[in-house]
Amino acid sequence: MVDLPMSQKEGPRSLVERLERRFYQRLWQERAFQWETLRPYRQWALEFLSPNRSVMLDVGAGGAQDRQRSFRGLAGKVVGIDIDDAVLANPGLDEAQVFDGVHIPFPDRSFDVVVSDWTFEHVSAPGPLLQEIARVLKEGGLLVVRTPNLWHYVSLIARVTPYWFHKLSCRCFLGPGQQPRHTFATFYRLNTGGRIKSALSQAGFAQVELRFIEPPPSYLRFNPLLFLLGVLYERAVNKVSALSCLRHTIVFRAVKG
């Protein structure tokens, strides 16, 4: 039992903050919760980049991008594409284009590295898009992706709930006064280890490596009891290797050819 005395005036949000400090002291002090899954994604891409020569494509780059997720200045050129025209105003890109979600508007072998962050869960037919990525990658080029795991409880709930519930959830997570520009539908067609390996092989990729990561349950911060249950889940799946397939995030990389 956790001894966390609380005054009668203390609300759910302040209690959750105390729970975060109790269970995730290092991350709380560093304000580094998002880095738990972002770090390996960035490291894999950065290992492959040359600041002066590498040309990178960000598939699903979106609009405004925080500094921690941006690769601008770390590659020779960073190009972003998205189905949303908000990408045209993304300050983390050297060039941006809107595309139809499948056909990438660049010639063969144009890029050294392709990254995609929290995008493939929204792709209804990932196979054709992976083939397009392979087409625009140079031989030996690298693909790095971060996406949710279908078998995590958050993804399973998202899969069985209606679209209006997703929009409502996004508004709740963002907080008062903040509104998401768009909430895209989710399909989870490339969100298990087996599906990822199979689809990458069919698209012509090799040297596939996957990491399953369970971060702190920040998405349950709206309720102290649910947050505690999320902590228990996080500790279990991170401690028992046999449960790694139930962790929230999949980060994978693969090489063309």
- Tens of pLDDT along 74-119? 999 999 999 999 999 999 999 999 999 999 999 999 999 999 999 9
> Domain for residue 142, yes or no?
yes
Q: Does 19 reside within a domain?
A: no
**Residue 179 falls inside a structural domain:** yes
Q: Is residue 24 part of a domain?
A: no
Q: Is residue 25 part of a domain?
A: no
Residue 64 belongs to a domain: yes
Global pTM? 0.87
Residue 165 has pLDDT above 80, yes or no: no
Residue 207 lies in a domain: yes
Q: Is residue 2 part of a domain?
A: no
Q: Is the pLDDT of residue 155 over 60?
A: yes
Residue 169 confidence (pLDDT)? 59
pLDDT for residue 237 is more than 80? yes
Lowest mean pLDDT among 67-71, 146-150, 176-180, 187-191: 176-180
Euclidean distance between CA atoms 95 and 128, whole angstroms: 23
Domain encompassing residue 165: 37-256
Quick one: pLDDT at residue 27?
Answer: 64
- Structure confidence at residue 66 as a pLDDT band (50, 70, 90): confident
Q: Compute the average pLDDT of residues 234-251.
A: 97
What type of residue is 181? R
Predicted local distance difference test score (pLDDT) of residue 9: 43
Q: Tell me, what's the pLDDT at 158?
A: 86
Q: Tokens for 17, please give them.
A: 């903050």
* pLDDT beyond 50 at 4: no
CATH number of the domain residue 113 falls in? 3.40.50.150
pLDDT in tens, 12-42: 568 888 888 888 887 665 555 566 789 999 9
pLDDT in tens, 127-146: 999 999 999 999 999 999 99
- Complete DSSP assignment for the chain: -------TT--HHHHHHHHHHHH-HHHHHHT-TTHHHHHHHHHHHHHH--TTT-EEEEET--SS--GGG--TTTSSEEEEEESSGGGGG-TT-SEEEE--SS--SS-TT-EEEEEEES-GGG-S-HHHHHHHHHHHEEEEEEEEEEEE-TTSHHHHHHHHS-HHHHHHHHHHHH-TT---S-------TT-SHHHHHHHHHHTTEEEEEEEEE----GGGTT-HHHHHHHHHHHHHHHH-GGGGGGSSEEEEEEEE-
What domain count does the chain have? Answer: 1
pLDDT at 166: 56
**For residue 11, pLDDT beyond 90:** no
Structure confidence at residue 142 (pLDDT): 98
